[in-house]
Chain A
Amino acid sequence: MTRVLDSSEKTARAVAGRRPIRLGPFSGVLRWQPLVALLGGLVVLLAFFVLNLGLGEYQISPVEVLNTLLGGGDRAQQIIVVELRLPRSLTGLLVGAALGLAGAIMQALARNPLASPDMLGITWGAGTAATAVIVLGGTAGSIAGALANYGLPLVALAGGLVTGIAVYVLAYRRGVDSFRLVLVGVGVSALAGNATYWLLTVGDVNDASRALIWLTGSLNARGWEHVIPVAIALVVLIPLTLIGTHVLGALQFDDDTVRGLGVRRDLSRGALLLASVVLASIATAAAGPIQFVALATPQIALRVARTSRPPLLTSAVLGGALVVGSDVISRTAFGGMELPVGIITAVLGAPYLIYLLVRRYREVRA
Chain B
Amino acid sequence: MSRSVAVGSPRASGHGAASTASGGGRLRQRRRRRFAGIAVLLVVLVVSCVLSVVIGAKTIPLSDVWSGLFTPTGTENDLIIRELRVPRTVVGVLAGAALGLAGALMQGHTRNPIADPGILGITQGAALAVVLAVYTFGVTTLLGFIWFGFAGALLGALAVFAIGSLGRGGPTPVALALAGAAISHLLQAITSALVISDQQTMDTYRFWKVGSVSISDPAVIPQVLPFLAVGIVLALANASSLNALSLGDDVARSLGHRVEWARRAGIAGIAILVGGTVAICGPIGFVGLIVPHVARFFTGADYRWLLPFAGLLGASLVLLADVLGRIVARPSEVQVGVMLAMVGAPLFIALVRRRKLVRL
Contacts and interface: CB of A to CB of B under 8 A. Distances in A.
Do they bind each other? yes
Interface of A: 113-114, 119, 170-171, 173, 179-180, 182-184, 186-188, 190-191, 193-195, 197-198, 200-201, 205-206, 208-209, 212-213, 215-216, 291-292, 295-296, 299, 337, 339-340, 342-347, 349-351, 353-354, 357-358, 360-362, 364-365
Interface stretch (B2-10, B66-74, B180-188, B232-240): B180-188
B192 A209 contact: no
Contact of A350 (B185, B289, B349, B357): B185
A354 B174 contact: no
Interface centre among B195, B199, B210, B285 (most CB of A within 10 A): B210
**B: contact size bracket:** 35 or more
B126 to A, nearest CB: 15
Given A187-B352, A350-B183, A194 B192 contact: no
A342 B195 CA distance: 14
B182 A353 contact: yes
B189 interface: yes
Nearest to A119: B181
A351 to B, nearest CB: 7
Contacts of B334: 198
Contacts, number: 161
B202 A357 contact: no
Given A114-B177, A187-B349, A353-B182, A340 B168 contact: no
Given A357-B166, A361-B168, A291 B206 contact: no
Given A184-B349, A205-B199, A216-B192, A291 B185 contact: yes
A331 B61 CA distance: 60
23 contacts: A113-B178, A183-B113, A183-B352, A186-B348, A190-B341, A194-B285, A194-B338, A197-B338, A208-B206, A212-B192, A216-B192, A296-B182, A345-B189, A346-B188, A346-B189, A350-B183, A350-B185, A350-B186, A351-B182, A354-B183, A357-B166, A357-B178, A361-B175
A342 B210 contact: no
A342 B189 contact: yes
A358 B285 CA distance: 29
Contact of A291 (B188, B207, B342, B345): B188
Given A114-B181, A347-B190, A183 B114 contact: yes
Contact of A357 (B163, B203, B206, B359): B163
Contacts of A180: 352-353, 357
A291 B189 contact: yes
Secondary structure dominating the interface of B = helix
B247 interface: no
Interface of B: 113-114, 116, 118, 163, 166-168, 174-175, 177-179, 181-183, 185-186, 188-190, 192-193, 195-197, 199, 202-203, 206-207, 209-210, 285-286, 289, 334-335, 337-338, 340-342, 344-346, 348-349, 352-353, 357, 359
Nearest to B338: A198
A343 B118 CA distance: 19
B186 A346 contact: yes
A184 B166 contact: no
Nearest to B212: A201
Contact of B206 (A171, A179, A194, A201): A201
A205 B114 contact: no
Nearest to A349: B185
B349 A347 contact: no
Given A182-B114, A346-B189, A190 B357 contact: no
B341 A195 contact: yes
Contacts of B183: 350, 354
A357 B175 contact: yes
B189 A190 contact: no
A325 B316 CA distance: 49
A346 B185 CA distance: 6
A214 B336 CA distance: 25
A110 to B, nearest CB: 13
A200 to B, nearest CB: 5
Contact of A364 (B116, B168, B193, B285): B168
